[in-house]
Amino acid sequence: MPERSTDKTACPYGHPFPENLRRRGKNGNGKPRTYCSACRYPKRRTTPDPDPVAIERAVAGNPPAYLHHLELAAAIRQLDSRGQYTAQQIADRVGCTRRTVHRVRARSRQADADKTTRTCPRSSTGSTTSTTSRVSSVRRSAHGPHSEGPC
């Protein structure tokens, strides 16, 4: 970590202010809030990779003391894909509530639905159609030029 600077022409980490000084919003006194653009960008958070060992332990029924939400969701999805556990059994095994299991299931279903929904390339409005309705409209269009649907 670099030494902090007390100079007012630079940020506390020594980045020169005329080039790196940015203003955004207002503070409590109504003055613009200033920040150093050079310091701001490296501090962005990155999503950690899920720990496969923690996921395996949770699936086995011995979850660690803390599971990141991505690890928890992965463990719930693995147990749910087996199809032999209820929401309460999954919650007991992973160490969460039944409501959390239902939330993860709903998010997974929504993600699957979003994967099957896409934009129709021939539509001027950019409407979306699911792949199943796209297939049926292709079948209809094979029967004649006056088929129904946007595709």
One domain for residues 56 and 106: yes
Give the residue from 67, 102, 74 showing the smallest Cα distance to 88: 102
One domain for residues 105 and 56: yes
Q: Which pTM value belongs to this model?
A: 0.51
What's residue 5's pLDDT? 46
One domain for residues 68 and 106: yes
What's residue 121's pLDDT? 58
Whether 129 is covered by a domain: the verdict is no
Whether 151 is covered by a domain: the verdict is no
Whether 138 is covered by a domain: the verdict is no
One domain for residues 57 and 101: yes
How many domains would you assign to the chain?
2
Whether 77 is covered by a domain: the verdict is yes
DSSP structure string for 24-38: EEE-TTSSEEEEEHH
What is the distance between the alpha carbons of residues 104 and 111, in angstroms, rounded to a whole number? 10
Q: Is the model's pLDDT at 143 over the cut of 90?
A: no
* Helical packing angle, 52-60 and 69-82, nearest 10°: 50
One domain for residues 38 and 60: no
Residues 78-89 pLDDT 10s: 999 999 999 999
Whether 121 is covered by a domain: the verdict is no
Whether 140 is covered by a domain: the verdict is no
Whether 78 is covered by a domain: the verdict is yes
Residue environment code for 59-74, b if the CB has 16+ CB neighbours within 10 A, otherwise e: beeebeeebbeebbbb
Confidence of residue 137 (pLDDT cuts 50, 70, 90): very low
What's residue 31's pLDDT? 73
Residue 1 sits in which domain range?
1-43
